[in-house]
Structures are given as C-alpha cells and as structure tokens.
Amino acid sequence: MTNTLHRFGDARSFRDDFIVFAIASRGKNEIDSVPKLKKFLEIALKHKPVNLGDSRHGGALRASKSLNPLSHWSRNDTPDFDNVIAGVDTPTTCAAVFDNLEAAEACTKEVREAELGLSINISTSVNGAQECCKAAGICRHSAGYSLGFEGKTEYLPSSDVLKVATMCGHGMISTSLAKKMIDWVKEGRRTPKQASSVLARFCSCGVFNPSRSTRILEEARGRSK
C-alpha cells in the first residue's frame, strides 16, 4: 500500500502535508495491536490533525448511508475524529494528517516516548521527514522514495487535478470529480473548504489532506481571476 507516497507536487507543495502513520505487521506484532493503534490516534489527536483514519473504515469525514435530504442545504463538514478512534477494531494501518511541521514533529516525539512497538512512518517531503526525526531525536531506519509518474503520462490530467486526486493514493478520488470540484469552486458554486470535504469522503483510509486541498483549490481559483 503506497497510498501516501506518490502524491503529485514538488517538495514546496508538501509544506502543509505531513502524514504520520502506524502499521501493525502480520506475523510480527499484530497481536494485541488494536489498543496500541488507538493510543497512536489518541496521541495524534492532541496535536490537532486535519484528518485521522484507519485503512478498514475510512477517515474523519465519511459518506452517509442514510443522508437527510435537508443536507443539500446544510451539510455537516465537521470531521469526527472520535468516531475514527472508536472504530478501530482490527490490526491495520492508522494515519494522522497534519498541515504544519510543528504538529508533526510534536506528534512524532510523543509517539516515540509512548513506545508503542508499532512501525511508524512519516510521509512528506524528504526534508520534512528528516526534520520530524530530528525533533524527536530519531535516526531514520529506511526510506522509500517516490520517483513520480512515468509511462503513458499523456493519460494524466492537469497538475491541479493531480495534486488533489493523488491525495487518495488508492485512487478512490476520481480525477473527473476533482476537476468538477475545481470548476465548481471557480464558478462560485462551492467554497474550497466545501469542495475539499466532498473529496475527503471518498478517501477510504483517511490520508486525504483537506487543508492542502483547500489551499490548492484556492490557488486554482486565484489563477482564473
């Protein structure tokens, strides 16, 4: 699962994108890992994440199976972090998304002190991850570099669409929907925040960064003025 690795953008565009995630490994440490995963999310919550999630149930904004029709006029876009933590019921991957380096650093430091025994990874720019490790007094163990997209890149959409859609590395956010939301923001039919919430509901593991998405949509609107 490389759902956070291949986000489109240069290092500067990841200045508000820091994902810290904990993973239990099958056959190594998944037994009794559920309380540790919950503890990881509880620590992360203290540092004001913009999203939390687990790979089985989704993120802090989820689709509703019985939506009230009045929601078309007053949609609830408040992330439900407690629901994410309460829902972890099986060994999996849990992620916390931050939109600033300081929060990611503080979370990493506290996670280290908690000695959960789970594998912890940070997905962001190469330098951003090094800064987090430095703040926590940790040396990196392994690194997985993204070399970007190759092959038939003529099939790919515009860079704004890619930046937004690749924030769900599982591909659950369609490029058509991302483009539609960018267009709706430009037309004034939705605010960048509302459009980001729509997109966030499709991310099935909670690694979508609504804060970065809002910024990208605002920038796209700004360029069309």
Q: Which of residues 139-168 bind another protein (CB under 8 A)?
A: 139-153, 155-157, 162, 165-166
- Give the Å distances, CA to CA, from 32 to 23, 88, 220: 13, 12, 45
Return the residue of 48, 186, 201, 221 that touches another protein, per CB under 8 A: 201
Q: Judged by CB under 8 A, does residue 213 bind another protein?
A: no
Q: Are 48 and 81 in contact (CB under 8 A)?
A: no
Interface with another protein in residues 100-129 (CB under 8 A):
108, 111-112, 115-126, 129
Q: Are 140 and 130 in contact (CB under 8 A)?
A: yes
Cβ distance to another protein smaller for residue 148 or 222:
148
Nearest distance from residue 163's CB to another protein, in Å? 11
Q: Judged by CB under 8 A, does residue 209 bind another protein?
A: no
Report how many residues bind another protein under the rule CB under 8 A: 98
Interface with another protein in residues 13-32 (CB under 8 A):
14, 21, 23, 25-32
Of residues 121, 168, 126, the one with CA closest to residue 8: 168
For residue 177, what are the contacts with CB-CB under 8 A and spacing of at least 6?
165, 198, 199, 202
Q: Judged by CB under 8 A, does residue 98 bind another protein?
A: no
First to last CA, the chain: 39
Return the residue of 15, 48, 170, 193 that touches another protein, per CB under 8 A: 170
